[in-house]
Amino acid sequence: MQCIKTGYDETRLSYGIKDTEQLEPTTPKGIMVMHTTVKRNLVTSAFLMGLGITPVLSENLSAQDLSPNIGIVSFTLDDAYKNQHTNALPVMLKYKITGTLFIPTQNVGDRTDPDSIVMSWPEILDWKAAGWELGAHTHTHPYLTKLPETELNAELGYSAALIWRHTGTFPVSFASPYGDFDDRVLAAVRTIYEDQVSAWGGLEGIGDGFNALSSVDVYNIGRLGVERDTKVEKVCADIARAATEHYWLVLEFHQIVESAIPGDEGKYQIPVGNFEQIAKCAAEAAQNGKLRIATVQEVLKAALPTRKSTSLTKPSE
């Protein structure tokens, strides 16, 4: 029996002892910790109840000494590609970097399917074990602004429920696919998630991915998309700037591959060698004490401690 989580964190609602067996589909109903905003969302609640969930919220809230007076970098990986598990996870472990993985749940595959280009749930649990935050990225990866209300709520709620069901973590952070969101989408996002990252954007005049912790809009966090044609030197310079000028830089990656293919098809691929160089830049700055590396959730919790909006509800058996 592998202990995944024990204890109760009253600040963020972690509760109970979970073992791998309890995460199997046959899990009986156990301790239920509900998110107050989730309870308000009938669509989500229906899914959660129907799935007999035994959740643990917010696993890795280490007491990192984050403050608005230092630079911070967050690594975020979108879409849960298997090549992220194969190529990026070893690099992240080597440099002891934790970040946020944004998972579109529909395609999460079976470990035994050799053709799946998306990670399996056990592979996603490897990231959790490595200290990564698990964030949501809808179920089917649609353009959210085009969806009617019911489908919008289902995309948001069902993905959260599945992540909770399969990993024991209720996702706190959300990424809209294609950066496609508007006020209506964000209103729905707010009923379930505590933050939303964009696919681009940042401080005007400073650059994509740069956020000021003192004034960050937690439902429109800017990210720098690191793509095949993005120069490593540019990203490392941005990391250095975040360290010296005390910004929060959020990096966004998609596929991490041996070598990126040319043309539009490989636009969102970056070679693992480039990924490692970027990781090294961040790790060295962190080692020099100039920078903290943290998950999106950790940053917001530390920078905006008054944002807490959760409470504990015991299960109704």
The C-alpha atoms of residue 224 and residue 77 are separated, in whole angstroms, by 12
Does 78 sit near Zn ion (CB under 5 A)?
A: yes
- Residue 71 sits at φ, ψ, to 5 deg, of -85, 145
Smallest gap, in angstroms, from Cβ of residue 253 to Zn ion? 11
Residue 79 or 133: which CB sits closer to Zn ion?
79
Tell me: does residue 252 bind Zn ion (CB under 5 A): no
Binding residues with Zn ion: total (CB under 5 A): 3
Residue 55 or 177 with smaller CB distance to Zn ion: 177
> ∠ at Cα 297 (214, 219), nearest 5°?
60
Nearer to Zn ion, 173 or 310 (CB): 173
Q: Least distance (Å) from Zn ion to the CB of residue 2? A: 30
Contact 209, 252 (CB under 8 A): yes
Least Å distance, CB 24 to Zn ion, is 28
Q: Do residues 120 and 23 touch, judged by C-beta distance below 8 A?
A: no
Helix (H, G, I), strand (E, B) or coil at 73: strand
Backbone angles phi, psi at 300, to 5 degrees: -70, -35
Give the shortest CB-141-to-Zn ion separation in angstroms: 6
Indicate the residue among 164 and 268 with the shorter CB distance to Zn ion. 268
Q: CA 198, 204, 208 angle in degrees (round to 5)? A: 45
Choices 22-30, 170-178, 228-236, 258-266; region in contact with Zn ion by CB under 5 A = 170-178
Choice between 66 and 197, CB closer to Zn ion: 197
By CB under 5 A, what part of segment 172-231 binds Zn ion? 177
d(CA 65, CA 70): 10
**Does residue number 155 form part of the binding site for Zn ion (CB under 5 A)?**
no
Q: Is 79 in the site for Zn ion (CB under 5 A)?
A: yes
CB of 275 to Zn ion, least distance (A): 17
Q: To the nearest whole angstrom, how small is the minimum distance from the Cβ of residue 91 to Zn ion?
A: 20
Closest-CA residue to 282 (of 112, 95, 136, 126): 95
| Nearest partner of 269 among 239, 302, 226, 222, judged by Cα | 226
Q: Which stretch binds Zn ion (CB under 5 A): 9-17, 61-69, 169-177, 280-288?
A: 169-177
Nearer to Zn ion among residue 79 and residue 123 (C-beta) = 79
**Helical segments of the chain, H only:** 36-40, 42-51, 82-83, 89-94, 121-129, 149-167, 183-190, 232-245, 272-287, 296-303
Please report how close the Cβ of residue 252 comes to Zn ion at its closest, in angstroms.
9
Task: Please report, as ranges, the residues that interact with Zn ion according to CB under 5 A.
Answer: 78-79, 177
